[in-house]
Amino acid sequence: MNGTLLKLTLRDIRSALSFRTFLIWIAMAGMAVFFFFTSAGRTELVNENKVEFMTLFLPQIIFGAWAVLSVYFDLVSSDREHNVLDCILCSGITKKQIFTAKTLTTAVVSLILSFIYLLPITAVIVLLSELSNAMLLVRYLLPLWGYIMVFAAMGVIISVLARSSKAALIWSLAVGLILMPRFFMIIVEGLGSAFHWSHGVIDGVSMIAPGVLMNALSDFENTTNLLNGIIGFSSGVLILFTISYLVFCRQDEYNYGE
């Protein structure tokens, strides 16, 4: 039972960590280094030995949703489209086992992606300052992992709902655009002024944006924000995975090709 789950998970990890994934995430890490030098990040570090959140995560704030969704949008839809899911299900494997393997895959791969993103920028920071700044990697690894997991859970739900990789890709692009933190906050502010929301409500709704949550989660000094971040990420991931699981178990298996 556990061996089977491990085998299924390893297969999914192999397919998620494709050449495309590495290419996108190495580019993201490269962008992080580039933005660090071109923004005030380097100056602040050299002069004040301080690293601002935004200087580290600007590429994530702009492209994060797409970069994460590009890894997970075909996690289920690809197997379904190619009828491999049918062959696995007819081999005595339950949907519960398949979904558990997919969930474990998102957790492991997201951690690897966080590491890929943070390693080059941390190395640059250490080279420019002191070794103790290597702790930045530890400080931001889990918040970034949580941030990626929210989009990963969205990727899984898209992958379950869409019956082909092409449909999943289109949905991912649309969802990625809406969830870009800057764009999302503009939408929330627009809704707030249309419905006369107070600043408190607008701030609260804005917290749904994973980028905003990640900022809160990496702010260890502000306990309220940290707690909000943890609760926001955990409940978001949990709700999205639960919906995906329930939908997946109730779905009939067929694809558009048939």
Residues at the contact surface with other proteins, assessed by CB under 8 A = 3-4, 7-8, 11, 14-15, 18, 82-84, 86-93, 252-254, 257-258
Cβ nearer to other proteins, comparing 130 with 253: 253
Task: Report how far residue 42's alpha carbon sits from residue 129's, in angstroms, rounded to the nearest whole number.
Answer: 10
Cβ nearer to other proteins, comparing 84 with 174: 84
Quote the least distance from Cβ 190 to other proteins, whole Å.
Answer: 37
Cβ nearer to other proteins, comparing 16 with 121: 16
Tokens for 137, please give them. 């990697």
Cβ nearer to other proteins, comparing 8 with 118: 8
Quote the least distance from Cβ 178 to other proteins, whole Å.
Answer: 30
Task: Report how far residue 38's alpha carbon sits from residue 125's, in angstroms, rounded to the nearest whole number.
Answer: 14
Quote the least distance from Cβ 117 to other proteins, whole Å.
Answer: 24
Cβ nearer to other proteins, comparing 14 with 182: 14
Quote the least distance from Cβ 96 to other proteins, whole Å.
Answer: 14
CB 32, CB 59: distance < 8 Å: yes
**C-alpha closest to that of 67 among 159, 165, 179, 164:** 179
CB 181, CB 210: distance < 8 Å: yes
Q: Distance of CA 229 to CAs 216, 217, 220, Å?
A: 5, 5, 11
Phi-psi region of 196 (alpha: psi -120 to 50; beta: other; left: phi over 0): left
